[in-house]
Amino acid sequence: MAPPQQSILITGCTTGSAGHALALEFAAQGMRVFATARSIKSLAGLEEKGIEVLALDVTSLESIAALKAEIQTRTKGKLDILFNNAGMMYEAPAIEADPKRVRQMFDANVFGVFDMVSAFTPLLLAAVSDPSRPPTIINTASVLAKVPYPFSAGYNATKAAIASYSDTLRLELAPLGIKVVTLYMGVVSTGISSPDGIRFDPNSIYADVEAGVKKRSKDHQDSGMKAERFAQEVVAEVLKKKRGPGQGEYVWKGANATLVWLLSMIGGRKVFDASSEKEIGLDEKTKRSIAEKGRALV
């Protein structure tokens, strides 16, 4: 007898995003997919593929509770996979960043994940039956949890927080029969980071490097792994059937992800410094200019 169809809830499935591609790929592999975004209108093209679309604001406890009630009704109280993918990115100098925008990013990228896990763990517990197919939580971190990516300190910090949270959650939920996977996402061509959204203050002491940061963003969009390929690789890894104990709990996918993993294993903490600075044109001349502007503030 074939095993029953598994269900998966994916957050952050806006058209053009990695979540959108993931929803399509999980559905293509025969899963019952619940795809969410703040606006149903942004989930175009999913319903026609048999995917169930629902509204969700991960920063709202009321929205999470409403979604949980709806999923409980549709699945009779069970969920096999929770994929926390929703997030936002804000790039700015660390000491000049807008505190309100940084807090909004932490709400979406970190606290939204905490709240989703707390809300949906009972549904995952109800799905515990076959040890070879444990209910699973997948949390999307980033290679930027390992790389000092200048002028993205807030975003980097959110992803480092998720990596640490997810690793700890892995140990706490293991006795309950729930698996936790940390996805270290490399560069993927999506709309999360756009040069158009990068605007330093006109009086920023880092004004000389703003063009370099915008160029980095554009280069990553141009050279990043296509969302469809990323989704195929992630889904294949997540649904892989034969594993040894503890395998598959850390997934590195996306452009440069494997390289970052390797260098983070064998290199020191500063192994990425030179390449990170070079990528945005943070050379010695630019550093001197920044230093002069900084001294002028004293």
Catalytic choice (90, 155, 184, 206): 155
Question: What six digits make up the tokens of 196?
Answer: 């158009």
159 assigned to active site: yes
Per residue in 142-180, is it b (16+ CB within 10 Å) or e — as a string? bbbbbbebbbbbbbbbbbbbbbebbeebbeebeeeebbb
250 assigned to active site: no
CA distance 37 to 40: 6
Pick the closest to residue 5 from 79, 107, 62, 56 (CA basis): 79
CA distance 94 to 61: 29
Q: How far apart are the first and last CA of the chain?
A: 74
Catalytic choice (78, 159, 179, 253): 159
Residue 199 identity:
R
Sequence-ordered alpha helix ranges (H) in the chain:
18-28, 61-75, 99-106, 112-125, 153-173, 210-223, 227-238, 257-266, 273-279, 284-296
CA distance 192 to 18: 9
* Chain position carrying tokens 């409980």: 72
Residue pair 9/120 in contact (Cβ under 8 Å)? The answer is yes
Please identify every residue annotated as catalytic. 155, 159
